[in-house]
Amino acid sequence: MTRHLLHFCALTLLALFSAGAAHAFDESDLLPVDEAFALDARAGDPGSARFDFTIAEGYYLYRHRFSVQALDDSGAAGALEVPRGTPHHDEFFGDVETWRSAVSATLSGLDGGAQRFRVKYQGCADAGICYPPQSREVTVQVAAALPGAGGFSGLPGATGSSPVSSGLAIGGLANPLAPAADALGTDAMPLPEDQAFRFEAIANSPTELLLRFTPAPGYYLYRDRSEFRLLDADGVQLATPRWPTGTQHQDEHFGDVIVYFDQIELPLGLRRSRADAGPITLEATFQGCQNDGICYPPMTRQVTLDLPAAAADQLVSLAAPDADASAPFGVARWLKALLFALGGGLILNLMPCVLPVLSLKALSLAQSGESAGKARAHALWYTAGVLLSFALLGAAALALRHLGLALGWGFQLQQPLVVGALAYLMAAIGLSLSGVFSIGSGWAGLGQNLAGKSGPAGDFFTGVLAVVVASPCTAPLMGGALAFAFVSPTAVAISVFLALGLGLALPFLAIGFVPALAQRLPRPGAWMETLKQVLAFPMYLTAVWLLWVLGKQHGVDASAYALAGIVVLALALWRWEKSRWGGSVAGRVAAVVLLLVALWPLWRIPQMEPPGAVAETGNGSVAYSAQTLDALRDDGRTVFVNMTADWCVTCKANEKRVLDSDTFRQSLAARDAVYMKGDWTRVDPAITAFLESHGAVGVPLYVVIRPGHEDVVLPTVLTFDAVEAALGAP
């Protein structure tokens, strides 16, 4: 096995490192494979068949790469007799034998009559170019063996062959198609690329192409290693491909990826500014592998399609991009993304999901009225916590996506452990603000700062907490800027996340550095204790919301476990406070034990089975699946797709105000449209793929799909007018 693996690695490395030389070689100088190695299969002596090769000058065949397999049930009773070859030390196969000029092999012990055989072979040119492994099926009319005869007389037979693709291996002994296993005597020979991966395309409608990929059995195709473009198609642009649901696959080359083992049909939308019919040329580049075998290099196919004429309502404006926008990371687009990120972060201060944490900061700023210097320190430490957290969170999301994981913005609240821990934290902060406990400088003084007390650590950690809770709310505010960040170089992307953090921290920076604003803050006094206790209740409500999200992710049992853990946590904190004033060591030990008991549900909850998805929900929606959506498309139905999550406050507001209304349901009924809902509360690669296909990095996402029309993406803040316009006339 180790030797097999070494041969495979050597072949692959050769293909990679010799790519530059391959482009310099003129393949037209090489003979077609059936001229370089002309095969003639005929009857030999009675009960045998001969396989003769005529080898062109300057070419040679490998002896160890030659085999004959009888395909009929009668099979071959004898062994294949092949002559010795010329010894040759090969760079990758080691000491081998080769044939030149001509060679003849005999297979004996056969029954009489028409026999079918599969002949496998591989050869190279002295120029350093090798052909991929070849396979031919031939039929030979074998003469019956004479009873009792020791010798045989020749009887001519008919031959036939069906040549397969003779694509060339570039740059040395073998190419990426060369099978390491078969080279060493097994039958795991990979197919030529046009047989391993069939590609077809048709014009499905004036605004849609339908592509079909057919991997051979034992082969798979990568979803994210594909690219499509039109050649010389003025007035026509490609939309985003709508990939069907694939299979999650741990790949040794690209990590955790989506692949397809079976035939798939891929709708590819067209955006047209001209209505006339005419031909277009589509170029498709894709990559795939043999299961437990070799990986093919990227393959490119071109097809010419007759595009039918389009109706007036199927045309869109294709504005020519400016010089900056045409570049993926142009300066103008970057500055625009930074501006949107800064504005989104500023507006984020008003979002309900951020308000409880900002309540803590408001109290802290009120306490900082002692001096202008202290106000600036509060603002700077809070800003540092916000910026660092956004940078780390953005870097984590980028890194996981680059590794092939299907994650989007707000992914941390898809993890039940994170949701449960945040519920614990919000409850603990509320208990501290309510006066149940107050932790001094000994044990976890940082927690006291987190509860709103002044100090650099408390300001910094409050900024961290604001980002963790606030980040899922950012996608509706700045989806375009985040989408730009996710496809930009890392440094550019991080700058967008930092701009978002700066927007979130901007009000507190202004208060810290503008004395006139700081002077408007109320002076410290007895009212602060009352405010502190009042601010505990937003924390309790946030904990309740997080417990509800947890129940949606892992069922009501998960919520009950977490709620019980929070009660034990409250008991542990109360017991610690009592022992702190009483000086009881036993009391502190009991508090620590209770704390460990309280943390046990956080370990248990991720192991619980999530509730099963339902196909129909109470509001008449159909649960999202790529197969169901494809079936509805094929039926010519209009589909309103709502991608949502239980932790998305904007999603819930839109549903309450628009999507759960009788008016919306009547609009759908008037158009015989289907309401499809995808729940992204938990990690779902299929929904993430749909989001990515429409340029979204998070929820909410609303898409109207109409037959014969381009998909319409609606604004993240829905209105009835926008929905009606997208659905079209009834």
* Domain annotation covers residue 112: yes
What pLDDT is recorded for position 185?
35
Mean predicted lDDT score pLDDT of the chain: 74
Q: Which helix (H) or strand (E) holds 138?
A: strand 134-142
Please give the Cα distance from 552 to 284 (Å, whole number).
41
Please give the Cα distance from 152 to 697 (Å, whole number).
75
Final residue in a domain of this structure, among 279, 314, 349: 314
- 206-229 per-position pLDDT tens digit: 888 989 999 998 899 998 888 898
Say which residues have a Cβ less than 8 Å from residue 129's Cβ, sequence separation at least 6: 25, 27, 30, 168, 169, 170, 171
Whether 508 and 360 share a structural domain: yes
Q: Is the pLDDT of residue 17 over 60?
A: no
Residue 20 — very low, low, confident or very high, per pLDDT cuts 50/70/90?
Answer: very low
Q: Is the pLDDT of residue 302 over 70?
A: yes
Q: How far is CA 206 from CA 45, 230, 313, 673, in A?
A: 63, 15, 11, 22
What pLDDT is recorded for position 328?
42
Whether 242 and 340 share a structural domain: no
* Domain annotation covers residue 321: no
Whether 685 and 547 share a structural domain: no
What pLDDT is recorded for position 700?
85
Whether 566 and 443 share a structural domain: yes
Please give the Cα distance from 701 to 691 (Å, whole number).
7
Which DSSP category does 533 fall into? H
Domain count, the chain: 4
**What range defines the domain where residue 643 resides?**
622-727
* Domain annotation covers residue 461: yes
Task: Give me 518's structure tokens.
Answer: 């700081």
For residues 495-507, average pLDDT: 84
pTM for the predicted model, two decimal places = 0.40
Whether 11 and 88 share a structural domain: yes
Whether 99 and 71 share a structural domain: yes
Final residue in a domain of this structure, among 574, 607, 640: 607
Whether 87 and 24 share a structural domain: yes
* Domain annotation covers residue 324: no
> Considering only CA atoms, which of 78, 213, 203, 206 is closest in space to residue 708?
206
Please give the Cα distance from 690 to 626 (Å, whole number).
8
* Domain annotation covers residue 613: no
- 165-176 per-position pLDDT tens digit: 333 333 333 333
* Domain annotation covers residue 614: no
DSSP letters, 256-271, are: EEEEESS-EEEEEEEE
What residues are paired with 281 via a beta bridge? 231, 304
Please give the Cα distance from 265 to 271 (Å, whole number).
20
* Domain annotation covers residue 430: yes
- 184-210 per-position pLDDT tens digit: 333 446 788 888 999 999 988 888 898
Whether 337 and 305 share a structural domain: no
Whether 308 and 287 share a structural domain: yes
Cα pseudo-dihedral 433, 434, 436, 439, rounded to 10: 10
Which DSSP category does 353 fall into? T
* Domain annotation covers residue 594: yes
CATH of the domain at 17: 2.60.40.1250
Whether 420 and 349 share a structural domain: yes
Whether 165 and 66 share a structural domain: yes
Residue 349 — very low, low, confident or very high, per pLDDT cuts 50/70/90?
Answer: confident
- 601-626 per-position pLDDT tens digit: 888 888 777 665 444 445 678 889 88
CATH of the domain at 636: 3.40.30.10
What pLDDT is recorded for position 212?
92
Higher-pLDDT residue of 177, 634: 634
- 99-153 per-position pLDDT tens digit: 999 999 988 888 878 888 889 998 888 877 778 888 888 888 887 764 444 333 3
Asked which of 270-274, 441-445, 504-508, 685-689 is least confident by mean pLDDT, the reply is: 441-445
- 36-55 per-position pLDDT tens digit: 999 998 888 888 889 999 99
Final residue in a domain of this structure, among 183, 201, 217: 183
Whether 598 and 482 share a structural domain: yes
- 446-487 per-position pLDDT tens digit: 333 443 445 677 778 777 877 766 655 554 455 555 555 555
At 700 the three-state DSSP class reads: coil
